């Protein structure tokens, strides 16, 4: 009887860990297509409404936007793959402190950090093509977005 309880407890723990890993990836990875489309459109609209981007600036920034979008897409795919690998490691190991789970978790965190780095690099690259006033507004918006994003 004890053996079946132990088996059921272990199975329940593995399932719970897999569900938690899946939810963590879904919540922390900015890979919600509807949200992304809204957020991208909102950001572009914000740029025009608040920074008063000129046609010349738009012409200069457009290639940067296209390149960033390609990098962002690749990195989101890496985050999704790392999340799937973490879920698999949890399913196979059943131990949150196993080397496999820890390595997969680190890989996910690194992929998420890389997306943050790419995004910040992109904002600072954009700032180079803005007036000082526009650049200051962009930095303030970026700072506020980071703070507000962590409050959700």
Arithmetic mean of pLDDT, 13-37: 52
Distance of CA 148 to CAs 24, 135, 137, Å?
Answer: 19, 20, 16
Phi and psi at residue 117, in whole multiples of 5°?
A: -60, -45
The answer to which of 34-38, 57-61, 115-119 has the lowest mean pLDDT is 34-38
pLDDT for 32: 44
pLDDT for 109: 95
Per DSSP, the residues of 94-122 read --TTSHHHHHHHHHHHHHHHHHHHHHHHH
Q: Which of 33-42, 84-93, 141-150 has the highest mean pLDDT?
A: 84-93
Q: Using the predicted structure, report yes or no on whether residue 143 has a pLDDT greater than 90.
A: no
Per domain, the residue ranges of the chain are 2-151
The reply to whether CATH 1.10.579.10 applies to domain 2-151 is: no
Cβ(78)–Cβ(25) below 8 Å:
no
pLDDT for 34: 46
* Residue partners of 122: CB distance under 8 A and separation at least 6: 64, 68
Residue with tokens 């890389």: 114
pLDDT for 106: 95
pLDDT for 131: 93
Residue with tokens 């992304």: 36
* 66-100 pLDDT, tens digit each: 999 999 999 999 999 999 999 999 999 888 889 99
Distance of CA 58 to CAs 52, 121, 124, Å?
Answer: 10, 18, 16
The answer to which of 3-7, 41-45, 127-131, 140-144 has the lowest mean pLDDT is 3-7
* 113-136 pLDDT, tens digit each: 999 999 889 989 999 999 999 999
């Amino acid at each position: 009887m004890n053996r079946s309880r132990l088996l059921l407890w272990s199975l329940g723990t593995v399932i719970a860990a897999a569900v938690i890993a899946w939810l963590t990836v879904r919540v922390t990875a900015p890979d919600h297509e509807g949200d992304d489309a809204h957020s991208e459109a909102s950001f572009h609209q914000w740029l025009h409404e608040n920074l008063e981007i000129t046609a010349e600036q738009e012409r200069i920034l457009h290639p940067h936007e296209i390149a960033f979008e390609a990098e962002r897409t690749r990195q989101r795919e890496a985050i999704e793959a790392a999340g799937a690998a973490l879920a698999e490691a949890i399913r196979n190991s059943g131990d949150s402190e196993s080397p496999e789970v820890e390595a997969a978790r680190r890989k996910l965190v690194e992929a998420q950090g890389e997306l943050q780095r790419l995004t910040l690099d992109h904002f600072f690259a954009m700032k180079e093509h803005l007036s000082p006033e526009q650049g200051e507004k962009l930095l303030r918006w970026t700072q506020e977005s980071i703070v507000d994003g962590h409050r959700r």
